[in-house]
């Protein structure tokens, strides 16, 4: 069952993740506690909150990040979204979302969890909920040209050291990881 494999992948990722800051360690423990009490917590239908999958899509040289101007949020954010019934793991969901929202094939997912965030939001459920967002680093091939989908007002590459004003993006303080 997808709910079970998504839940297992989220739990494993968070258990193996070693956050650098105390606030990230607290967030990890809070999300693990949430998952411990919510077997369906990776599915959008879980109204009190649910795991979402995000992609920090970097250019092949990791100098630029692909951001979407999200129509509902109204800010520049990373790509990503809800886990779907066909996704076996949260990683699969992040990669699927990145390809769908960027139009870029052949994206490469870096193993492991990049980070986590929690966002209060009124999503497609139409009621206030919380997105417990697991983030993954994904690297685009050289020359990748994004194609905006209907899920975005705008889509473009930004220098990692020159993000737009008001961008809501988690970038590690040590910067993106090195090329594989």
What residues pair up with 58 in beta bridges, in sequence order? 65, 139
pLDDT of residue 125: 63
- What per-residue confidence (pLDDT) applies to 176? 42
Closest by CA to 138, choosing from 75, 62, 63, 77, is 62
Q: Would the pLDDT of 100 be above 70? A: yes
Q: What is the pTM of this model?
A: 0.90
Beta bridge partners, 155, equal: 68
């Amino acid at each position: 069952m997808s709910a079970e494999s998504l839940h297992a992948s989220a739990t494993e990722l968070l258990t193996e993740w070693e956050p650098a800051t105390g606030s990230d360690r607290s967030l990890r423990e809070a999300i693990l506690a949430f998952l411990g009490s919510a077997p369906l917590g990776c599915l959008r239908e879980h109204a009190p909150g649910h795991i979402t999958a995000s992609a920090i899509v970097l250019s092949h040289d990791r100098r630029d990040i692909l951001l979407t101007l999200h129509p509902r949020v109204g800010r520049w954010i990373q790509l990503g979204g809800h886990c779907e019934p066909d996704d076996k793991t949260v990683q699969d969901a992040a990669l699927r979302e990145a390809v769908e929202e960027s139009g870029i094939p052949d994206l490469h997912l870096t193993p492991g969890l990049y980070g986590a965030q929690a966002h209060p939001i009124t999503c497609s459920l139409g009621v206030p909920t919380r997105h417990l967002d697991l983030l993954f680093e994904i690297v685009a091939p050289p020359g990748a040209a994004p194609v905006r989908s209907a899920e975005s007002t705008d889509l473009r590459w930004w220098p990692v050291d020159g993000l737009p004003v008001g961008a809501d993006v988690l970038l590690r303080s040590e910067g993106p990881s090195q090329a594989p």
